[in-house]
Structure 1
Amino acid sequence: MAYVLFLGGLVVVLAGLTWFASWAKGRGHGSALAGAIAAHDEAYRTTAHQSHHELRIAADRKSETGSPDDLQR
């Protein structure tokens, strides 16, 4: 019986955390957490911090060329 209660509590906690993560991401609060992790990485793991900045720059970069599908029209 104790195992059932433990697993039930674990399921409730994980479901709550999953709901909170989707709620925070939907409202745009996830960027604050990403910034906090980036600050931690800058202090303790410099290679991870550099990778974070490279990924942010790559995500913001716009492609200057069209896709191959645009050429067929």
Structure 2
Amino acid sequence: MAYVVFLAGVVVVLAGLTWFASWAKRRGRSSGVAGALAAYEEAYRTTAHQSHHELRRQSERTSESASPDDL
């Protein structure tokens, strides 16, 4: 019985965290968390920090659309 209660507690916590993550993403509040993780990665994992900045640069780039004459 104790295992069932423990498992139910874990499921409730994970469901709550999932809901919070989706709520924060919809409201645009995830940038603070991303900034905190970037600061941590800059201090302790420099390669991950460099990758983070490269991914941000890639998402900000716009791709050039092809001309209709290129067909």
Look up the match of 1:62.
Answer: 62
Partners of 2:25 and 2:10 lie apart in 1 by 22
Structure 1 stretches lacking a partner, 5+ long: none
* Structure 1 position 33, deviation (Å): 0.6
Partners of 2:8 and 2:45 lie apart in 1 by 37
The percent identity for this pair of structures is 71
Normalised TM-score (structure 1): 0.84
Partners of 1:66 and 1:28 lie apart in 2 by 32
Partners of 1:66 and 1:30 lie apart in 2 by 34
Aligned pairs for 1:35-54 (under 5 A) are 35-54=35-54
Partners of 1:30 and 1:10 lie apart in 2 by 23
Normalised TM-score (structure 2): 0.86
Equivalenced residues, count: 71
Look up the match of 2:16.
Answer: 16
Runs of 4+ in structure 1 over 2 Å off: none
Partners of 1:34 and 1:28 lie apart in 2 by 11
* Structure 1 position 26, deviation (Å): 0.7
Look up the match of 2:27.
Answer: 27
